[in-house]
Chains A and B, each alone.
Chain A
Amino acid sequence: MSESGGKPAERKGAARRKAALDPRLAEYRGVWVFVERDEQGVHPVSWELLGAARALADQLGSEVGAVVAGGAEESLESHCRDAVAYGADRVYQTVHPVLAGYRNEPYAKLLCELVKKHKPEILLLGATSLGRDLASSVATTLETGLTADCTELAIDRESRALAATRPTFGGNLLCTILTLNYRPQMATVRPRVLPQPKKDHGRSGQIQKEEIDLSEEEMVTKLLEFLPHAGGDRLDLSLAEVIVAGGKGLQRAANFSLLEELARALGGEVGATRAAVQAGWVDVQRQIGQTGKTVRPKLYIAAGISGEIQHRVGMEGSDLIVAINTDPNAPIFEVAHYGIVGDALILLPLLTRMVRGQAVATKTSGLEVCSSS
């Protein structure tokens, strides 16, 4: 009675070979990404997915498709061009007033129709509130396999199927899920799990207009209003370039101010472990890990964090990880690049002072820095 995360049975090789031979499945070609967008722009997870789709398609010898849809033509054009620059060979562009603002019903209808018409082999979406909502509905309508929150996407050599790896049992183990006898093979990936690909304006791709028959009268659910988040709710930790995070080792809520000061000096944000959030020291918006956000900043400083697997899965993709912990055997030192064994309460203020000194020093010698670049 488990969900796809914890199913005990493994299927035998016979089923896999059968999948490779089924002509019904062989019709499906191409790796697609649903491009998640709003009035302000495209969610970066869509570009991250295009990077992964490119690699998968190259391995399969097929095309990368991107689905871009919205209510008005103007903003869509640049997003279609960007999709090509990030790796799409073909962009399926749909404009319809009913598609202004996300709603499940019209978007699920659009994506199902496009899939039925063009038959992609693989369909990827971001594991966001929109992507999860849409992917589940589409997979159910098409009655195909969907694997949520993947951390790695690859092609299984034997079956040519998408091998979608995701954490299971609360992040303690990983499992690889295959969809063998159904197409398309669907997966969602959380923002910042995959690296952002390089944007290549020299790439060429085709933008293909797709019509859809929708009418507002037939839509049961109406979007009355959008209320943007205010203040702390607006924070998107997954986009921060520098994160200074703290855990139980900081001992009390007041000590989080040490993180705030260092984060501010570095122009970054404060993050926290689940334990620190549950202790009420810091807001849940700042939680990093299995049940919180996934981040991959340029610099991640972990202070007083032991480094349980549930936390590590949310930050191990960071470019540079620095750990400060009193326990030399803490698992955080296994993922960190640099470490200091010591009390974060003493070391953090020293580092903050050092960074501030640097800022002033660089500023006064700013001319030199500029001229050399």
Chain B
Amino acid sequence: MRGPNIVVCVKQVPDSAQIRVHPVTGTIMRQGVPAVLNPYDLFALEEALQIKDRLGGRIVALCMGPPQAEAALRKALSLGVDDAVLVSDRAFAGSDTLATSFALASAIRQVGQEQPVDLVFTGKQTIDGDTGQVGPGVAKRLGMQLLSYVCRIPILDMDSQSIVVHRWTEKGVQVLKSKLPCLITVLEGTSEGRFASLPEMIRAARQPIRVWNRQAAGIEDLSKIGLKGSPTVVGKVFAPSRRAERAECIEWEQDQAEKAVSLLWEKIRARQPELVEKLSGDNGGENGQERVSE
């Protein structure tokens, strides 16, 4: 029995925590913002690596981006991925999620020419686009079953080509049974993640990364990629407007805290009388008892 052939899609993103808006011009200050592997993709990588630990097989990390996105693939290699492919072509510039899913799906088909792909993993979303649309889009393009927001994979049986996953929803967990090949978007916090070992890091630095242009990725139809293949267009980009008036601040002297809070409470009551009236009902009465029982 062969182990599964897995593709993990990753993206290089600007570290959004470090993006700042220029206080005067309201434009993005891109300079010096480091690029990182999309943090959500680490959970997808870890899930794939755990499967490989158990069942063997092979993992290919796939990334679409400019040449410098190679760094994201090096990171994936250092964690234990076997092979890395960077899909990079100027023709992809300006791709929205629909065009991106077309290009990635095409590249995955090319990977499948070498050996059929059993599983595709993606993170649940990226931290720059924040859409969560590319993974499901790739699944649809490839005709694979889509299993999104997966938080556990209790069963993966290569003999019967079947898989059971736990899919997170707002109210609970769906236990879904499906067939390979399928695409799984992995929920964050599903696993601890691993650190790269020194030998793996050395291997990662030395291993060649395959770079595929549009043709190598099997894309002939130019109308499906880049700006042409993107139904959405950006109308305008602007800074969020600020409310005209600032908060009405309650002035208070030292030792007068109680008075200030009382004044604040008066104002809340005046603005939200219904809320305060409710307190006379269930909540207010029960508070005392709840505290005692704690």
| Partner-B contacts on A (CB < 8 A) | 1-11, 15, 38, 40, 43, 101-105, 108, 128-130, 132-133, 135-137, 139-141, 143-149, 156, 163, 167-170, 172-182, 220-229, 234, 236, 241-242, 264-267, 284, 290-291, 298-299, 309, 313, 319-323, 328, 333-342, 346-347, 350-351, 354-356, 358-360, 362-363, 366, 369
In angstroms, Cα B26 to Cα A342, docked, is 30
Query: Is there an interface contact between A223 and B174, defined as CB atoms closer than 8 Å?
Result: yes
Contacts A170-B127, A172-B20 given: A339-B250 contact, CB under 8 Å? yes
Of the candidates A163, A284, A298, the one whose C-beta lies within 8 Å of that of B275 is A298
**Interface set, chain B 114-135, CB cutoff 8 A to A:** 126-135
Identify 25 residue pairs between A and B in the complex whose beta-carbon atoms are under 8 Å apart, listed by A's number. A3-B97, A3-B129, A4-B97, A6-B129, A8-B94, A102-B174, A129-B168, A133-B148, A133-B149, A137-B146, A139-B137, A140-B98, A169-B14, A170-B127, A175-B238, A176-B234, A177-B234, A178-B232, A178-B233, A220-B178, A227-B172, A334-B243, A334-B247, A360-B284, A363-B284
Which residues does chain A contribute within 8 Å of B146, judged by CB atoms?
A: 104, 133, 137
A309 close to B131 (CB less than 8 A): no
One of B126, B172, B178, B283 near A266 (C-beta < 8 A): B283
Q: Which A-chain residue is minimally distant from B149 (CB atoms)?
A: A129
The answer to whether B66 and A179 have CB atoms under 8 Å apart is no
Nearest B residue to A339, CB-CB: B247
**CB of B169 within 8 A of chain A?**
yes
A287 to chain B, nearest CB (A): 12
B238 and A224 form a contact (CB under 8 A): no
> Which of B97, B166, B265 contacts A358 (CB under 8 A)?
B265
Given the interface pairs A133-B146, A338-B268, the reply to whether A169 lies near B28 with Cβ below 8 Å is: yes
Report the separation of the CA atoms of residues A170 and B129 in the bound assembly, to the nearest whole angstrom. 8
Residue in contact with B139 in the complex, picked from A137, A144, A313, A328, CB distance below 8 Å: A137
- List of A residues within 8 angstroms of B129 by Cβ: 2-6, 148
Max chain A C-beta neighbours (<10 A), residue from B131, B176, B179, B278: B131
8 other A-B residue contacts (CB within 8 Å) besides A3-B128, A299-B268:
A10-B235, A15-B233, A129-B167, A173-B26, A174-B237, A176-B236, A322-B264, A341-B249
Give bound CA distance, A337 to B139, whole Å.
46
Task: Give the CA-CA distance A243 to B145 in the complex, in Å.
Answer: 39
User: 4 closest Cβ contacts across the A-B interface?
Assistant: A359-B284, A3-B129, A170-B16, A145-B231
Count how many pairs of residues, one from A and one from B, have CB atoms less than 8 Å apart in the complex. 335
Q: Which residues of A contact B2 (CB under 8 A)?
A: none
Flag if A340 contacts B133 (CB, 8 Å): no
CB neighbours of B137 from chain A (8 A) = 136-137, 139-140
Q: Are B130 and A351 in contact (CB-based, < 8 A)?
A: no
Contacts A7-B94, A132-B133 given; indicate if A172 touches B28 (C-beta within 8 A): yes
Name B's A-contacting residues (CB within 8 A). Answer: 14, 16-17, 19-21, 26, 28, 64-66, 69, 92-98, 100-101, 126-137, 139-141, 145-149, 164, 166-179, 189, 227, 230-240, 242-243, 246-250, 252, 257-258, 260-262, 264-265, 267-269, 271-272, 274-280, 282-285, 287, 290
- Report whether A347 and B133 are in contact in the complex, using a CB–CB cutoff of 8 Å: no
The answer on a CB contact under 8 Å between B177 and A104 is no
| Contact across chains for B287 and A227 when beta carbons are under 8 A apart | no
Q: Are B131 and A148 in contact (CB under 8 A)?
A: yes
Chain A residues within 8 Å of B269, by CB: 358
Query: Which of B135, B164, B232 lies at the interface centre, i.e. has the most chain A CB atoms within 10 A of its CB?
Result: B232
Distance in Å: Cβ of A97 to nearest Cβ of chain B? 17
Contact indicator A369/B277 (Cβ below 8 Å):
yes
Smallest CB–CB gap between A187 and chain B, Å?
10
Q: Which chain A positions have C-beta within 8 A of B20?
A: 172
Residue of B nearest to A274 (CB): B17
Given contacts A339-B247, A359-B285, contact A181 B272 (CB under 8 A): no
In Å, the complex CA distance between A102 and B69 comes to 37
Q: Hey, which chain B residues are within 8 Å of A369, CB to CB?
A: 277, 280
Residue on B with the closest CB to A191? B170
| Minimum distance in angstroms from B105 CB to a CB of chain A | 9
What is the bound-complex CA distance between A309 and B17, given in angstroms?
11
| Chain A minimum-CB-distance residue to B11 | A1
* Pairwise interchain contact A104-B240, C-beta atoms closer than 8 A: no
- The answer to whether A174 touches B238, judged by C-beta atoms less than 8 angstroms apart, is yes
Residues from chain A with Cβ under 8 Å of B134 in the complex? 3
User: Do A340 and B260 touch (CB < 8 A)?
Assistant: yes
Given A136-B136, A362-B279, A180 and B237 touching (CB < 8 A)? Answer: no
User: Given A129-B149, A339-B247, A342-B257, do A156 and B235 touch, yes or no (CB 8 Å)?
Assistant: yes
Known: A4-B96, A5-B130. A267 touches B246 (CB 8 A): no
- B170-A163 in contact (CB<8A): no
How far is it, in angstroms, between the C-alpha of A350 and the C-alpha of B261 when the chains are bound?
Answer: 7
User: Which residue from chain B places its CB closest to the CB of A161 in the assembled complex?
Assistant: B235
* B173 engages A340 (CB within 8 Å): no
When distances are taken between beta carbons in the complex, the residues of chain B under 8 Å from A105 are: 145
A323 → B minimal CB distance (Å): 6
Quote the shortest CB–CB distance from A315 to chain B (angstroms).
13
B268 engages A322 (CB within 8 Å): yes
- A333–B235 touching, CB < 8 Å: no
Inter-chain contacts of A108 with B (CB < 8 A): 140
Q: In the bound complex, do residue B257 and residue A350 qualify as a contact, i.e. CB atoms below 8 Å apart?
A: yes
Closest CB-CB distance, B19 to chain A, in whole Å?
A: 5
